[in-house]
Structure 1
Amino acid sequence: MTVTLSATLAANEDIERRRRAGERVVHLAFGEAGLPVHPALRDKLAAASGSNGYGPVAGAPALRTAAAGYWARRGLDTDPELVVCGPGSKPLLYGLIMAIGGDIVLPMPSWVSYAAQADLVGARPILVPAPPGEGGVPDPDLVAAEVRRARAEGRTVSSVLVTLPDNPTGRLATPETVGRLAQVARELDLMIISDEIYRDLVHDPSLPFTSPADVAPERTIITTGLSKSLALGGWRIGVARLPHPSAEADGHALRTKLLGVASEIWSAPAAPVQEAAAYAFDDPPELVDRIALSRRLHGVVARAVRDRFVEIGASVPVPQGGFYLYPDLSHLRLGGAADITRILLEEHGIGVLPGHAFGDDPAAARVRVAVSLLYGETPEARMASLTSADPLQLPWIAANLDHLSMGLKELSLVRHDAVREHHPALVPTPCHG
């Protein structure tokens, strides 16, 4: 097995090297939330800095209770005994894939680490496209067909993973699609892992949100964390809500397996961070307000970036959550995702990720765009972006958008010139009047 650096982390390091060398690059390749830590969270962490014991593998009781309350306020009664904490939701996802075993169904496209983690534990991912216009949830009808085909070949398929809302597309699956997938999961005895780390960053709070746990609580695991909603990526803390006991599934049995994995990999989450996270998962008003500001900023900037891609004829689904877009630049006919990504970076100073890193067709010219590093280079600038009534008018955001527009227009002109050179009859003759 060949293990390589995650595509997102590799791209981030490459772009940072280029910037240190003096290159002008608009960084749209890394899904970091790009905002300052709330002062109340800093205070909680500092106050807990003397906590230096390992603590329980499942996480501190206060954090598990706070996470249970977090889900209860979102309509999911939760037993704290069925909450497991880890150093980020990413290790929890890895531990869950290992604990459940068997092959796993993933949306296509989907976050780069899902398939990589499955490979690491010896599982084979089955990539299934989302319904047209959606993202993060594989088409339930196709899931049923693919699982039956894999099982007919002798494979063990045990789970399906969804992302609500989605990275890379920025879309939110409809309640109808989630409900149909839950039904398929029941029929085929699949566990559902629902990565809901962007749940609190749905741009329009009135948009209907359905978790698989709302309709199939007996077989749904939810993972989340604070890296996106509260910009705490470097703090590394996540929580998982395991299925509650029923005739079909036993969350306690899964808990035992997951804790066995956790005990050998991370022992326990960092104790001081757990104390700060317990405060955050209690939804105190000051953090609820901060998340609301973040949600608004991400939505405003994501839509502005989408406008720049649409101006050159790209097909871009309207973003609904998080800070991602998934433009399709196939109309330019400049090659597949790797070609477009290279041209954008090396010739136009625009850093994005190729769609094939997310399991997409390499021949398709789709790229993943993250807007959250456009908010400024300093904590002061990022705070100004967060609180501004019109962040698009701030000089640093406006400059980034202008650079993006110029680069995309230059990219489009490359295609126009190529058409004019090889097919002059297709280029209209200017009218002078």
Structure 2
Amino acid sequence: MTVHSATLAIDETVRARKAAGEKVLHLGFGEAGLPVPEQVAAVLAGAAARNGYGPVVGSYEAREAAAGWFTRRGLPTGPDQVLFAPGSKALLFALLAALPGDLVLPCPAWVSYAAQAALVNKRVIGVPVPAESGGIPDPALLEQALTRARTAGANPGVLLLTVPDNPTGTVALPAHLREVCAIADRHGLAVVSDEIYAELCHDGHRAPSATSHLPERTLVTTGLSKSMALGGWRTGFARVPDNAWGARVLRDVIGVASEVWSSLAAPMQAAAAFVLADPPEVTGHIAASRRLHATVARAVHAEFVRAGALCRAPRAGFYLYPDFESARAALADQGITTGAELASYLLERHGVGVLAGEAFGDAPRGLRARVATSLLYGDSADERWEALRSDDPLALPWISGSLDHLREALGALVPQLGAKS
């Protein structure tokens, strides 16, 4: 039996409460929270008459644009190495269905990886992330974990990396990524590199990629849901290596796609082709988005640190992963001993929606949660545009009010630690 995705469930819960008139701070769902640029919307509207199915892999126009997009980012790519789908989530599932062997997964990791592995009867071999960042297994622990897994009867075959990372909002160190890829190479693992946040590194640089270290066995998935805030448009694409192995994987994924989603909606392919050509209006929009994500994530991070949480500084995207272990005794006095109880308390008592670390494969007893900051930019398109264009978004009343709400909730949650910081 499968269960409702934790991220989608918290989104529906918080939105229902807000619709009922409750004051709720939505920090539970990783929607990019920004409006659609007019030029992009116009391209989609202009393609409305494209109602044919088209090739499973996507139109040549879209694949050529994606190939150029990868190539301009230092990864030479041809159109025949690209496959489009209704969201990168579908592509991740198809890859897990097509690739042999069990899944090796950093812990914590995005909620759907392990769930998708279960749907295709793969074991999950969890390996803790390094202290510095998330998204990859700690290279000092990975080899041992692979050996133990084989001894226990597992068959490690697929290593899934997320760089930059959800849920921690960090970027893996290049040296760690290189070590992890070397281990994957020694053990014959296929690497699936989820790079959906690669355009949103706060410093404006590209995130490191496994394709730099294991190009012949790395498959990249990405899409437009985060960089362009087009999650509802469900536009994802993948790149396979330019070799015989990559061609076999692509063939097998096409087989899955042909029976599950047929093809990405043709109007979405037209919009993708426009966006992936990197016109100035798109690159400027992404740069402004990046600045806003960084500014608000840093401000929310400061509130958690002020409240006494241990929390990695955000480096990309719009996530944080605070740990309240230092407040365990104080929280236990309030009946909070697990991450799920922490999340429930924040929502029920203080109107703050977060997701417990347990949803990301973390230990249930860990007092950790994933915090998403990207729905703080406003409730209307006008407010979001103003936040995007503002030189000081933290001064906007709806954002400053949200920070005040969070500060009050965290102060009430752990008053002893907040008073000391």
Deviations 1:170-220 (A, max 9, x none): 0100111111111111100000000000000000124x7320011111000
Matched, 1:281 2:276: yes
5 Å-filtered alignment, 1:33-432, equals: 33-206=32-205, 209-245=207-243, 250-333=245-328, 334=331, 335-413=337-415
- Mapped to 1, the partners of 2:183 and 2:349 lie a distance apart of 46
Structure 2 unaligned residues grouped into runs of 5+: 332-336
**209-218 or 30-39: which moved more?**
209-218
Q: Which amino acid aligns with 1:32?
A: E
- Mapped to 1, the partners of 2:149 and 2:410 lie a distance apart of 42
Matched length:
413
- Mapped to 2, the partners of 1:382 and 1:154 lie a distance apart of 51
Which residue of structure 2 aligns with residue 420 of structure 1? none
Deviation at 1:154, TM superposition (A): 3.2
Deviations 1:82-133 (A, max 9, x none): 1111000000000000000320101100000000000011101111111111
- Mapped to 1, the partners of 2:363 and 2:150 lie a distance apart of 24
State whether residues 318 and 374 of structure 2, in contact with CA within 8 Å, keep that contact through their aligned partners in structure 1.
Answer: yes
- Mapped to 2, the partners of 1:177 and 1:282 lie a distance apart of 32
TM-score, normalised to structure 1, is: 0.93
Deviation at 1:416, TM superposition (A): 7.3
**327-336 or 115-124: which moved more?**
327-336
- Mapped to 2, the partners of 1:56 and 1:216 lie a distance apart of 29
Query: Secondary structure at 1:147's aligned position in 2?
Result: helix
Deviations 1:21-65 (A, max 9, x none): 221110000000000001111000011000001000011111111
Structure 1 unaligned residues grouped into runs of 5+: 418-426, 429-433
- Mapped to 2, the partners of 1:209 and 1:272 lie a distance apart of 30
Distance 1:278 1:264, change over 3 A: same
- Mapped to 2, the partners of 1:39 and 1:393 lie a distance apart of 26
State whether residues 358 and 364 of structure 2, in contact with CA within 8 Å, keep that contact through their aligned partners in structure 1.
Answer: yes
Deviations 1:128-170 (A, max 9, x none): 1111111101112322221222223332211100001000000
Query: Secondary structure at 1:250's aligned position in 2?
Result: helix
State whether residues 308 and 417 of structure 2, in contact with CA within 8 Å, keep that contact through their aligned partners in structure 1.
Answer: no
- Mapped to 1, the partners of 2:291 and 2:155 lie a distance apart of 43
Q: Which amino acid aligns with 1:400?
A: S
Deviation at 1:258, TM superposition (A): 0.4
Query: Secondary structure at 2:133's aligned position in 1?
Result: coil
Deviation at 1:317, TM superposition (A): 0.6
TM-score, normalised to structure 2, is: 0.96
- Mapped to 2, the partners of 1:276 and 1:389 lie a distance apart of 29
Deviation at 1:250, TM superposition (A): 1.2
- Mapped to 2, the partners of 1:259 and 1:75 lie a distance apart of 26
State whether residues 31 and 231 of structure 2, in contact with CA within 8 Å, keep that contact through their aligned partners in structure 1.
Answer: yes
Deviations 1:337-371 (A, max 9, x none): 01110110000111100001000111110110000
- Mapped to 2, the partners of 1:385 and 1:250 lie a distance apart of 46
Query: Secondary structure at 1:239's aligned position in 2?
Result: strand
Q: Which amino acid aligns with 2:120?
A: V
Q: Which amino acid aligns with 2:231?
A: G
**165-174 or 143-152: which moved more?**
143-152
Deviations 1:300-329 (A, max 9, x none): 000000111111111111000000000011
Q: Which amino acid aligns with 1:216?
A: L
Deviation at 1:20, TM superposition (A): 1.6
Q: Which amino acid aligns with 2:407?
A: S
- Mapped to 1, the partners of 2:21 and 2:194 lie a distance apart of 37
Q: Which amino acid aligns with 2:409?
A: G
Q: Which amino acid aligns with 1:153?
A: A
Deviation at 1:255, TM superposition (A): 0.8
When the two chains are superposed, the root-mean-square deviation of aligned CA atoms in Å is 1.5
Q: Which amino acid aligns with 1:12?
A: D
State whether residues 105 and 143 of structure 1, in contact with CA within 8 Å, keep that contact through their aligned partners in structure 2.
Answer: no
Percent identical across equivalent pairs?
51
Question: Greater Rg, structure 1 or structure 2?
Answer: 1
- Mapped to 2, the partners of 1:299 and 1:416 lie a distance apart of 26
Query: Secondary structure at 1:45's aligned position in 2?
Result: helix
Q: Which amino acid aligns with 1:262?
A: A
Query: Secondary structure at 2:414's aligned position in 1?
Result: helix
Q: Which amino acid aligns with 2:215?
A: P
